[in-house]
Amino acid sequence: MANAYSTDLRERVVLTIDEGASCRESAEFHRVSVSSAIRWHQSWRCSCSVEAKPSGGSRSPLDEHAEEILAIIEEQNDRTLDEIVAEMNRRRLPGSRTALFRFLSRHGITRKKRSCMPASRKGQMSRTLGGAGSASKAFWTRRV
């Protein structure tokens, strides 16, 4: 995404228009688009400001229910995304699997998987969490 034009340039374009030049002439002189000159001048007339509007930073509807979603995860830490979404639907909270994944990612929460591989015959590579054939346990944890 391109950066916004500087406030100084915006003010110079508006000043040129206020001094009697047309929007097209001012835009051509300052090498900006005509539509930008028109919008900046309209903004100046309405709000006396030519500052660029903030960009990005959209909020997810899930952020409004963050405490309740995090409580669902704390209740039963080994739920899958689909199970969490089903519980959210049961409690009439908005969201989809993708929205939940992005929410958890923003909050630094990842899914930790425990291996169910049998121990190495050559030597212990890591602490074993279960013997051969044991079920894999996965749980949600906050990234540090």
Using CB atoms within 10 A of its CB, is residue 37 exposed (0-12), middle (13-18) or buried (19+)? buried
Q: What's the rounded mean pLDDT across residues 79-101?
A: 92
In the prediction, which pLDDT does 117 show?
61
Q: Is 48 left (phi over 0), alpha (psi -120 to 50) or beta?
A: left
CB atoms within 10 A of CB 49: 13
3-state secondary structure of 130: coil
Given the structure tokens 């001012």, which residue do they identify?
A: 26
Q: Is the pLDDT of residue 133 over 60?
A: no
In the prediction, which pLDDT does 24 show?
96
Given the structure tokens 């006396």, which residue do they identify?
A: 48
pLDDT digits (tens, 9 = 90+) for 24-43: 999 999 999 999 999 999 99
Task: Based on DSSP, count helices (H) and strands (E) in the chain, helices before strands.
Answer: 6, 2
Q: What's the rounded mean pLDDT across residues 118-139?
A: 57
Q: How confident is the model at residue 82 (pLDDT cuts 50, 70, 90)?
A: very high
Q: What's the rounded mean pLDDT across residues 75-83?
A: 88
pLDDT digits (tens, 9 = 90+) for 100-120: 999 998 888 887 766 666 666
Beta-carbon contacts of residue 131 (< 8 Å; ≥ 6 apart): 118, 119
Q: Is the pLDDT of residue 22 over 90?
A: yes
Q: Is the pLDDT of residue 138 over 80?
A: no
